[in-house]
Amino acid sequence: MENTAKYKVSLLLLILALVICFVLNISLGSVSIPFKGTLNAILGRGVAHDSWEYIVWNYRIPKAFTAILVGSGLALSGLLMQTLFRNPLAGPFVLGISSGASLGAALLIMGSALISSLFSYGMVNDVSLAVAASIGSFSVLLVVVVVSYRIKDTMALLIIGLMFGSMTAAIVSVLSYFTDAEKLQQYIYWSFGSVGNLSWSQLLLLLIIILIGIVLSIISIKPLNAFLLGENYAQSLGVNLKRSRYKIIIATGLLAGGITAFAGPIAFIGLAVPHLTRQIFNTTDHKVLVPAVLVYGAILMLICDTIAQLPTSANVLPINAITSIVGAPVVIWLLVRKKKMIF
């Protein structure tokens, strides 16, 4: 209670760091644009080269915004899942939502090749890919909701999520065994994850999805805090268990499903950011944690993206690999240092 002021200062500092990371992310890239030139382009002042303005506004800024949305959304969905499933290792991948998206994408890219007589070859594009991934993630979510209605045990739900992951991996390997190299490559590129391919209109759609997820999370803050005691205690505090669980699960699905649909599977952000945030904000109160993970997730994703684009070189590394390289050691470090993982 007395720490509220301290948390506010920390949050403000984090927001400041976010702004710095945002500008830094935009000013670095394969084409080297001087920092001043980037600032001028952002602020709409004249710049030395027209191409700079084009690069900044049509490539770098949408990419930076995508990174912010992806990082915030994944981090928030991770936080929701850790509390809901009472498991510090929960993240968007564990529920199987990301696996569902991967399955949708794999079926579209590789499955359409197998039955190419029925479909025209040109149907696999960014939009159809996003639709397929969304359908995949939401079908898994639907199954999870049905299962969670029948099984009260959240541990069983986690195992079911993991089984979805195995099933997806199996189907993908069967598909890739029969598919040609070109289609396989297309799927593998999707599974690398990317925040760079979104147009402004796609970005708007992603923004709406994530905002709905955030609003659902904010109205669930009180039940989320009660869930820290356990479900029976939450009920004894007057929480409507079923309705709260649905709200939180739908928020998770929208956040993780929507992001995976647009940006591909991106690992570890959802799992690691809530734990990193708890290092700064020494509280379990979701009133503090929800805004904090949103900002922290955005910062980490911007940093990962800055590394991924290998400034000044023409190569871009797969973002999914970078988040894993950054995320996995963080989780190990937390485990070793604190000897146990708690949420």
- Distance in Å, CB of 16 to another protein, minimum: 25
- Distance in Å, CB of 218 to another protein, minimum: 8
- Distance in Å, CB of 327 to another protein, minimum: 20
- Vertex 99: Cα angle to 250 and 228 (nearest 5): 45
Binding site for another protein (CB under 8 A): 1, 83, 86, 218-219, 221-222, 225-233, 235-240, 278, 283-285, 287, 340, 342-343
82 vs 98 by CB, closer to another protein: 82
Are the C-beta atoms of residues 143 and 78 closer than 8 Å to each other? no
Q: DSSP assignment of 3-19, as one string?
A: THHHHHHHHHHHHHHHH
DSSP state of 34: -
Cα separation of 76 and 290, whole Å? 7
183 vs 245 by CB, closer to another protein: 245
- Distance in Å, CB of 160 to another protein, minimum: 20
124 vs 272 by CB, closer to another protein: 272
- Distance in Å, CB of 231 to another protein, minimum: 8
2 vs 50 by CB, closer to another protein: 2
Cα separation of 287 and 212, whole Å? 17
Nearest to 95 by CA among 141, 153, 47, 61: 141
221 vs 280 by CB, closer to another protein: 221
30 vs 283 by CB, closer to another protein: 283
| Tally of CA atoms within 13 A in the half-sphere of 126 that contains its CB | 12
- Distance in Å, CB of 197 to another protein, minimum: 37
Q: DSSP assignment of 120-135, as one string?
A: -GGG-SHHHHHHHHHH
